[in-house]
A and B are shown apart, each in its own frame.
Chain A
Amino acid sequence: MSTPAEQLKTFLQSVPYIRFLGMTAELAGDEMTAILPFAPHLIGNTFLPALHGGVIGAFMEMTALAQLSVVQETPKVHKTIDVTIEYLRPGRSMTTYARATCARSAGASPM
């Protein structure tokens, strides 16, 4: 039985795409904060400059999967069925943070 911190670390290290994005995460108690440092390859609009909308969506989705790895121990990477993203403003060229809450998870107690 591994700890939530170990499960999170395993998840972050095992997914190549998370390394491609440059995403990390910190766990304080049971609250996880995902961190996406700004990098030139994440830009979608060079004039502003702003993060690519797809990067923001992907980062939030990966944050949800990372939160699941904290809540639920599983050897497999979970699969997304659907995501809905509402964009409020452009993502600026700075470090971006994300948090997720797990409302209901089959096979584990919800957080």
Chain B
Amino acid sequence: MISPEDALKAAAHMATAVPHAAALGFELVSIGDNRGAIRTPWREELVGDPATGVIASGVVTALLDHCCGLAITAGKREAFSTATLDLRIDYMRPAAPRMGIIAEAHCYKLTRSIAFVRAQAWDEDPTDPIATAQAAFILNGPAPLPGAPT
């Protein structure tokens, strides 16, 4: 059992140091109270529509998914891994051209094995979201299927 402070530190590290998070340039905005927020800065190579310079929706997907993971970790007092079970994303509008994106997630229900999370992403104004997400995660990683190679 590690201290809540160390658990938060480990969660903050996970938010930015996981290889794909680092590749997307994720920056920790806030963490705590079953919530987490992450920002990803705009970069030319993350553009999804070259005509407008708007960041790809796939980046928003990865950001929302990762941010949900952070919110779950923020509600636990020990280090553990999560895996996404399902993720639904609704895109309200494209992000503003050449703008970074912030996402905030709230883990509103945590059972022994499952976490339920809501998240939203915005560029300038949190009350005018780009996308919202609803997700479920399994805690401690998925159990291997019977007969599956290990």
Residues of chain A having any CB pair with chain B under 8 Å: 14-17, 19-21, 40-48, 50-55, 57-59, 61-62, 76-77, 79-87, 89-90
Contact = CB atoms under 8 A, between A and B. Distances in A.
B145 A89 contact: yes
A80 B59 CA distance: 13
Interface residues of B, number: 40
B18 A15 contact: no
Contacts, number: 135
Given A84-B87, A87-B85, A42 B20 contact: yes
Interface of A is mostly: mixed
Interface of B: 18-23, 44-51, 55-59, 61-66, 81, 83-91, 94, 141-142, 145, 148
Contact of B62 (A43, A46, A48, A55): A55
Contact of B50 (A14, A44, A45, A90): A14
